Amino acid sequence: MKAWVIDKVGLLSPDSLKLVELPVPEVEEDEILVKVYFCGICHTELDEIEGRATPDILPVVPGHQIVGEVVEVGPKVEKFKIGDKVGAGWIYSSCQRCEYCERGLENLCQEFKATGKDVNGGYAEYFKIKETFAFAIPEGLTLMEAAPLFCAGAIGYRALKLTQLKGEEGETLGLSGFGASNHLVLKLVKALFPKVKTYVFARNPKQREHALSLGADWAGDFEDTPPEGLKAIIDTTPVWRPLLLLKHLKPNGRFIINAIRKEEQDKEKLLFLDYGRDLWLEKEIKSVANITCQDLEEFLSLAKRLKLKPDVIGYPFYEAPKALFELKEGKIKGAKVLVIEDPFVI
**Gap between the Cα atoms of 42 and 206, Å rounded:** 19
Domain with 40, as residue range(s), is 2-150+290-339
Q: Are residues 146 and 158 in the same domain?
A: no
Q: Are residues 137 and 12 in the same domain?
A: yes
CATH at 144: 3.90.180.10
- Domain membership flag for residue 345: no
Instruction: Give the pLDDT mean for 129-138.
Output: 96
pLDDT in tens, 3-14: 999 999 999 999
pLDDT band with cut points at 50, 70 and 90 for residue 344: low
* H-only helix segments in 238-315: 293-306
Query: Total domain count for the chain?
Result: 2
* Share above pLDDT 90 across residues of the chain, in percent, rounded to a whole number: 84
The string of DSSP codes covering 153-171 is HHHHHHHHHHHT----TT-
pLDDT in tens, 273-289: 999 999 999 999 999 99
Going by C-beta distance under 8 Å and a sequence separation of 6 or more, which residues neighbour residue 195?
167, 168, 169, 170, 171
- Rounded mean pLDDT of the chain? 94
- What is the pTM for the complete model shown? 0.92
- Domain membership flag for residue 344: no
Instruction: Give the pLDDT mean for 162-168.
Output: 96
In one letter, which amino acid is 206? K
Burial 291-311 (b: 16+ CB within 10 A, else e): bbbebbeebbebbeeeebbbb
* Share above pLDDT 70 across residues of the chain, in percent, rounded to a whole number: 98
pLDDT in tens, 307-319: 988 989 999 999 9
